[in-house]
Amino acid sequence: MKTEHLRFIDLSVALENDVPADPPGLRPTITYTDHRKGAQQIASMFPGLSPEQLPDGEGWAVEDIKLHTHAGTHMDAPVHYASTMNGGERAIGIDEIPLDWCMAPGVKLDFRRFPDGYVATADDVAQELARIEHTLKPRDIVLVNTAAAVAYGTPAYIDSGCGMGREATLYLLSRGVRVVGTDGWSWDAPFSHTRARFLREGDPSIIWEGHKAGRDIGYGQLEKLTNLHLLPAHGFTVCCFPYKIKGASAGFTRAVAILDEAPTA
């Protein structure tokens, strides 16, 4: 593949300490070993060697990470949503996600206009697809640009942006979409807004309704994406292979958009 005309846009956030991108207890902890400490570790493996004998007194730099599978940019597997998918089949883990789901044409829905906590409908999706003049094809990867993106890195992030409701999710899945994504903390509306609505209405079906659509049609779901505002509405490729963790509900993902900007005659 010729790459001289390709433009790559990183859709993944970096794992960092002390970034409030998850509720307390779910955030990553990264312990850094610098080159000086690395030199001490190497010296301990070679009797008679002192750290100062290594070039510049330096050894390796390494990191230890305590990590939740849903930290950072990641893909949820169908087993995250329920024990079954496709109307009763065993739900697959992240290690079983078909690879052909993970590299496909991308489509961006711009839902930044919707207020925090709004639950997008099938009609919202249909109207946006009409606006951008795109007809969904099987295996399109649909990314939702929400108002949450600008709040990333602040305590407001997990309460920001709209969510995708059950009918909106099934609208996509019934047309052959198998991977979707959002720059919000969750594909669904933020829990704080759903909780307030549940207290008002008492309807349990609104809780995690977008995720639970996976019981009907299994799908992969990218969360905590970034830079979606840099993407066109369509005409790009998304590459988003998740880390292979046996039987896990999610896998860390380096999601990238690829645009072909070759000059046209």
Instruction: Please check whether residue 133 is in contact with residue 96, taking contact to mean a CB–CB distance below 8 angstroms.
Output: no
Rg (CA), the chain: 21
How many CB atoms lie under 10 A from the CB of residue 229?
A: 12
Beta bridge pairs of residue 179: 141, 220
Both structure tokens of 252: 């860390």
Instruction: Please check whether residue 119 is in contact with residue 189, taking contact to mean a CB–CB distance below 8 angstroms.
Output: yes
pLDDT of residue 1: 55
CA angle, corner 120, sides to 119 and 126, nearest 5? 165
Instruction: Please check whether residue 198 is in contact with residue 207, taking contact to mean a CB–CB distance below 8 angstroms.
Output: yes
Residue 3 has pLDDT above 80, yes or no: no
**Cβ-Cβ contacts under 8 Å for 248 (sequence gap 6 or more):** 69, 77, 79, 93, 94, 95
Per-residue pLDDT of 108-133, as tens digits, reads 999 999 999 999 999 999 999 999 99
For residues 183 and 164, give the distance between their C-alpha atoms in angstroms, rounded to a whole number.
Answer: 12
For residues 59 and 36, give the distance between their C-alpha atoms in angstroms, rounded to a whole number.
Answer: 6
Per-residue pLDDT of 131-144, as tens digits, reads 999 999 999 999 99
Average pLDDT over residues 20-25: 91
Q: What is the 3-state secondary structure (H, E, C) of 64-115?
A: EEECCCCCCCEEECHHHHCCEECCCEECCCHHHCCHHHCEEEEEEEECCCCC
For residues 216 and 214, give the distance between their C-alpha atoms in angstroms, rounded to a whole number.
Answer: 5
Q: What is the pTM of this model?
A: 0.94
pLDDT of residue 262: 73
How many CB atoms lie under 10 A from the CB of residue 260?
A: 12
For residues 93 and 224, give the distance between their C-alpha atoms in angstroms, rounded to a whole number.
Answer: 19
pLDDT of residue 4: 77
DSSP label of 37: H
